[in-house]
Amino acid sequence: MIPTISSKTRLYALIGNPIEHSLSPLMQNAAFQVLGLKCVYLSFRVELEELFKAINGIKSLGILGFNVTVPHKISILKYLDEINSHANDIGAVNTVINREGVLVGYNTDGAAALEVLKEEAGNLEEKKIVLLGAGGAARAISFYLAPRVKNLVILNRTEHKAFDLARTLCQRFKTPTIKGEKLTNKTIVNELDDVDILLNTTSVGMYPYVDETLIEKSMIHS
């Protein structure tokens, strides 16, 4: 339930495209209510070509902070005033705080994903993980996984992005157990043959194409 709105209510937001699938408004507004904060959280669909205008609007309206989802996690970097060192290393931002007109970017994707994976799968050291996608979410998650897993395979439709991310991770963490390949049915089948964990960071399956999938049941071992 959205808290009572008044002239003292402050605004937080989510920007991206698509955003219709997001549960962020439900979760954040529930948290505001529990904490007794006079704040609301709304989602705004922002096209890539309108991103710069949207950022200026956020500053002008005094929105206190916002989350960033696909496809803006990388594109937004050039419009921020400051970027946390960790987010800068990753090269993607999913959380921005407005400090009196100064927009500061952070990244919480990787840490959150790692906690969930540990809870669900236990020790990751001997696991092979296949990561679909090479965008902002994939970058954040892979930076946390690369030094902690046995093998990490990045599959992406745009081949060079998978290669570039894999090369960056290999150089950063000095490990040869990371590779990037073009995402095709053949590579999916080959890599899923002995996979332990499969992660999808692409927008496939999101609104409005909620019935689409990159993985058929027949591709997954028992």
40-60 pLDDT per residue, tens: 999 999 999 999 999 999 999
Same fold, 10-107 and 110-219: yes
The yes-or-no verdict on residue 153 having pLDDT over 80 is yes
Report the mean per-residue pLDDT for the chain.
94
Give the separation between CA 77 and CA 71, rounded to whole angstroms: 12
pLDDT (0 to 100) of residue 176: 84
> How many C-beta neighbours within 10 Å does residue 132 have?
22
pLDDT band at 206 (very low <50, low <70, confident <90, very high): confident
Asked, as a colleague might, if the bond just before 208 is cis with ω within 30 of 0, I would say yes
The yes-or-no verdict on residue 36 having pLDDT over 90 is yes
pLDDT band at 3 (very low <50, low <70, confident <90, very high): low
Question: In DSSP terms, which residues pair with 215 in a beta bridge?
Answer: none
Give the separation between CA 121 and CA 197, rounded to whole angstroms: 8
Give the separation between CA 201 and CA 170, rounded to whole angstroms: 20
The yes-or-no verdict on residue 192 having pLDDT over 70 is yes
Q: Which of 124, 192, 206, 126 is nearest to 155 (CA)?
A: 192
Residue 215 has phi, psi (to 5 degrees) of -120, 120
The token pair that represents 177 in the structure block: 């157990």
| Residue 171 CB partners (closer than 8 Å, separation 6+) | none
Question: Region 68-91: what's the mean pLDDT?
Answer: 96
The yes-or-no verdict on residue 2 having pLDDT over 60 is no
What percentage of the chain carries pLDDT values higher than 90? Answer: 92
- Residues that are catalytic: 73
3-state DSSP assignment of residue 201: coil
Query: Hey, where are the domains in the chain?
Result: 10-107, 110-219
CATH 3.60.110.10 for the 10-107 domain, yes or no = no
What CATH code would you report for 110-219? 3.40.50.720
pLDDT in tens, 164-178: 999 999 999 998 899
